[in-house]
């Protein structure tokens, strides 16, 4: 079925080879955070063992090596997203910080009371709350693209939601709660035709598929390292160079300046203007290594393997009475939210854990989506390319066992 040698790939992930409660670990919580291959762990470890120094400005060997590795990682992120220039790639703490950067540095100076920000019903809290805070600060208004019962965006009224007062469209590429892949290129085109800037939250897209920001033609794109096999605490913001160049710094401090006196500070050029203080150097290097690793597997192979697992799990769950899949869009990434009739999702998670099956239960930082379906939570299995068919079987066994315990 698969062109990938999944067993060989699994050997790259040391954490997968352990027992939980006497059962092999079945890690199906990849949408919360992914596991790290030894290539990434080694890149981080090697940096600390061989090259650790602060970057930029240093004339000694270690500092130059650290700088080269850090800037090399930036260029990998640029290639990974097909951005035009390294100046367009800002390292951040994660997707959350990247959204906050755009909200505060790009949008806040432009907003007047009565202006509008358009998001969607499917957003992660990271792409809701920063805009809500901005609305509180400026008197702007938050509008929301509605969703359908199948968990897709309802775009029928998009033309009317993009008004003359809309100053930003911020939308997720892939829903972390339901897996829905949104048609971001078409949506971006509609907004840009009205000169409305577009930010895309790609935290759940980049682990699963090739992304091309030049093709999408968005203004900003945010990603999170730990969702794509890299360390926590590192992420990236892509921004169109002309926009980034005109934006004020987000935070002040070292490395983001060219010169400082008490009378005047001159800010550094892109991308350093937005990277105040010592960054997560090892994290950025780990992110670069994760990208290299994904390239070595092949982004198309990753997408194909995950699609296979999603399809298999979906078919098997559909065949089970008393289990409902939440989010049934035809175009989905490898996320499967479900409800077992008569069992609270939290109990589902606990019973699964007894057999070593790690899934997530809760609102998945997307409470509006839960509110839409009038449920407090779902159980969510999310796959990565290192998952296999035996793990799908373990998921199904865990569902059957849960049903039996509650029957």
Ligand X SMILES: *Cc1c(COP(=O)(O)O)cnc(C)c1O
Query: Which residues carry out catalysis?
Result: 365
Part of the chain binding ligand X (CB under 6 A), chosen from 121-129, 209-217, 374-382, 398-406:
121-129
Contact between 172 and ligand X by CB under 6 A: the answer reads: yes
Contact between 124 and ligand X by CB under 6 A: the answer reads: yes
Which of 35, 176, 188, 328 lies at the binding interface for ligand X (CB under 6 A)? 176
**How crowded is the C-beta side of 216, counted as CA atoms within 13 Å?**
29
**Exposed/middle/buried for 228, CB within 10 Å: 0-12, 13-18, 19+?**
buried
Residue nearest to ligand X (CB): 94
Q: What is the sign, positive or negative, of the torsion defined by CA atoms of 182, 185, 189, 195?
A: positive
Q: How far is the CB of 385 from ligand X (least distance, A)?
A: 17
Query: In whole angstroms, what is the distance from residue 268 CA to residue 101 CA?
Result: 17
Q: What are phi and psi of 254, to 5 degrees?
A: -75, 160
Query: In whole angstroms, what is the distance from residue 236 CA to residue 395 CA?
Result: 33
The tokens describing 341, both together, are 């009739």
Please work out the total of residues on this chain that contact ligand X, with binding judged by CB under 6 A. 14
Which C-beta is closer to ligand X: that of 147 or that of 203?
203
Which C-beta is closer to ligand X: that of 94 or that of 239?
94
Q: How far is the CB of 204 from ligand X (least distance, A)?
A: 5
Which of 37, 94, 249, 271 lies at the binding interface for ligand X (CB under 6 A)? 94
Contact between 240 and ligand X by CB under 6 A: the answer reads: no
Query: In whole angstroms, what is the distance from residue 383 CA to residue 31 CA?
Result: 8
Map the footprint of ligand X across residues 214-233, applying CB under 6 A.
Answer: 224, 227
Contact between 275 and ligand X by CB under 6 A: the answer reads: no
CB contact set of 319 (below 8 Å; sequence gap of 6+): none
Map the footprint of ligand X across residues 178-217, applying CB under 6 A.
Answer: 201, 203-204
The tokens describing 298, both together, are 């092949």
**Beta strands 323-326 and 360-362: pairing type?**
unpaired
Contact between 36 and ligand X by CB under 6 A: the answer reads: no
The tokens describing 21, both together, are 């409660």
Which C-beta is closer to ligand X: that of 124 or that of 394?
124
Angle, CA of 279, 281 and 286, to the nearest 5°: 130
Contact between 362 and ligand X by CB under 6 A: the answer reads: no
Which of 34, 96, 182, 403 lies at the binding interface for ligand X (CB under 6 A)? 96
- HEC states along 97-120? HHHHHHHHHHHHHHCCCCCEEEEE
Which C-beta is closer to ligand X: that of 138 or that of 224?
224
Contact between 378 and ligand X by CB under 6 A: the answer reads: no
Q: How far is the CB of 171 from ligand X (least distance, A)?
A: 11
Query: In whole angstroms, what is the distance from residue 27 CA to residue 20 CA?
Result: 11
Residues that bind ligand X (CB under 6 A): 94-96, 124, 126-127, 172, 176, 201, 203-204, 224, 227, 235
């Amino acid at each position: 079925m698969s062109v990938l040698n999944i067993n060989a790939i699994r050997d790259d992930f040391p954490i997968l080879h352990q027992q939980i409660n006497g059962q092999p670990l079945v890690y199906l919580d990849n949408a919360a955070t992914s596991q790290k291959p030894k290539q990434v762990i080694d890149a981080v470890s090697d940096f600390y063992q061989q090259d650790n120094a602060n970057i930029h400005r240093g004339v000694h060997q270690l500092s130059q090596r650290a700088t080269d590795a850090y800037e090399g990682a930036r260029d990998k992120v640029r290639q990974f997203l097909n951005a035009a220039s390294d100046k367009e790639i800002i390292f951040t703490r994660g997707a959350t910080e990247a959204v906050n950067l755009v909200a505060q540095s790009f949008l806040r100076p432009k907003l007047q009371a009565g202006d509008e920000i358009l998001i969607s019903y499917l957003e992660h809290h990271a792409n809701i709350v920063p805009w809500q805070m901005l609305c509180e600060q400026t008197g702007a208004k938050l509008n929301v693209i509605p969703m359908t019962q199948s968990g897709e965006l309802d775009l029928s009224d998009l033309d009317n939601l993009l008004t003359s007062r809309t100053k930003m469209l911020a939308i997720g590429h892939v829903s972390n709660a339901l897996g829905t892949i949104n048609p971001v290129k078409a949506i971006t085109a509609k907004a840009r035709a009205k000169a409305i800037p577009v930010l895309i939250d790609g935290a759940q897209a980049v682990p699963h598929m090739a992304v091309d920001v030049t093709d999408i033609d968005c203004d900003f794109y945010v990603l999170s390292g730990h969702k794509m096999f890299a360390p926590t605490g590192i992420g990236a913001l892509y921004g169109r160079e002309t926009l980034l160049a005109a934006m004020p710094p987000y935070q002040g401090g070292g490395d983001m300046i060219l010169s400082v006196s008490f009378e005047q500070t001159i800010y550094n050029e892109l991308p350093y203007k937005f990277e105040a203080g010592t960054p997560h150097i090892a994290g950025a290097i780990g992110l670069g290594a994760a990208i290299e690793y994904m390239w070595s597997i092949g982004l198309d192979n990753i997408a194909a393997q995950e699609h296979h697992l999603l399809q298999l799990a979906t078919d098997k769950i559909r065949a089970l009475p008393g289990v409902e899949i939440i989010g049934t869009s035809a175009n989905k990434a490898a996320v499967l939210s479900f409800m077992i009739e008569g069992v609270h999702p939290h109990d589902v998670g606990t019973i699964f854990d007894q057999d070593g099956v790690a899934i997530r239960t809760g609102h998945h930082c997307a409470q509006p989506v839960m509110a839409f379906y009038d449920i407090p939570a779902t159980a969510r299995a999310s796959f990565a390319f290192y998952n296999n068919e035996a793990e799908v079987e373990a998921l199904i066994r865990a569902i059957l066992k849960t049903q039996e315990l509650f029957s």
